[in-house]
């Protein structure tokens, strides 16, 4: 009887987790308008997507400040920022960490671009990038390339952190040539 109750509890918890994962939100597709937002950066300054109208935006969601994959990805964007800027692109990172955590992360790795604090996860959810496991919530490692007209140009759902910024640069070259 105890085994039956334990198994039933496991199935209930798994079902609840699956429901939360399944309803994390739809991922915007190329050609659709990028969902707007206003979020604070690591310095407390508010950033709205609309501020970047007329520019390409590399909007990347990441799970957690100062973890190995997130650090590698952020530092790659930092190292390639001059090439991205020459192409008219603004890099913007988003996670559910708070502004203090972002400030420490940005300072430690000399990250010169905004890291936005989506503490309640609403923006990540609108981009289909929120993984909500109840007590544990974080952004999935998704990137959206937003064109100067504010539309999604490309979606990256599988990201290799070591070469992601180079991939973005190559895609921007192709897209700008069109």
96-138 pLDDT tens trace: 999 999 999 999 999 999 999 999 999 999 999 999 888 889 9
Cα 18 from Cα 12, distance rounded (Å)? 10
Q: ∠ CA 48-52-56 to the nearest 5 degrees?
A: 130
Write down the pLDDT at residue 177: 83
Active site residues: 70
Write down the pLDDT at residue 19: 42
- Domain of 137: which CATH number? 3.40.30.10
Write down the pLDDT at residue 151: 97
Write down the pLDDT at residue 33: 97
* 14, containing H or E segment: helix 2-22
DSSP 28: P
Number of domains in the chain: 1
* Residue 59 and residue 78 in contact, taking contact as beta carbons nearer than 8 Å: no
What is the residue range of 86's domain? 2-177
Write down the pLDDT at residue 150: 97
* Residue 145 and residue 153 in contact, taking contact as beta carbons nearer than 8 Å: yes
What is the pTM for the complete model shown? 0.86
Digit-by-digit pLDDT tens for the chain (178 residues) are: 655 444 444 444 444 444 444 444 699 999 999 999 999 999 999 999 999 999 999 999 999 999 999 999 999 999 999 999 999 999 999 999 999 999 999 999 999 999 999 999 999 999 999 998 888 899 999 999 999 999 999 999 999 999 999 999 999 999 988 7
Helices of type H across 23-135: 68-79, 81-86, 99-109, 122-126
Q: Beta partners for 92?
A: 59
């Amino acid at each position: 009887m105890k085994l039956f109750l334990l198994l039933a509890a496991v199935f209930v918890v798994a079902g609840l987790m699956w429901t939360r994962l399944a309803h994390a939100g739809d991922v915007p597709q190329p050609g659709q308008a990028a969902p707007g937002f206003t979020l604070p950066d690591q310095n407390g300054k508010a950033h709205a997507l609309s501020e970047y109208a007329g520019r390409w935006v590399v909007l990347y969601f990441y799970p957690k400040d100062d973890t190995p994959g997130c650090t590698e990805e952020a530092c790659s964007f930092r190292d390639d920022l001059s090439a991205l800027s020459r192409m008219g692109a603004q890099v913007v990172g988003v996670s559910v960490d708070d502004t203090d955590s972002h400030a420490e992360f940005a300072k430690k790795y000399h990250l010169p671009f905004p890291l936005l604090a989506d503490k309640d996860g609403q923006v990540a959810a609108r981009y289909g990038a929120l993984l909500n496991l109840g007590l544990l919530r974080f952004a999935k490692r998704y990137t959206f390339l937003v064109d100067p007209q504010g539309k999604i140009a490309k979606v990256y759902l599988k990201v290799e952190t070591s070469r992601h910024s180079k991939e973005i640069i190559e895609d921007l070259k192709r897209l700008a040539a069109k």
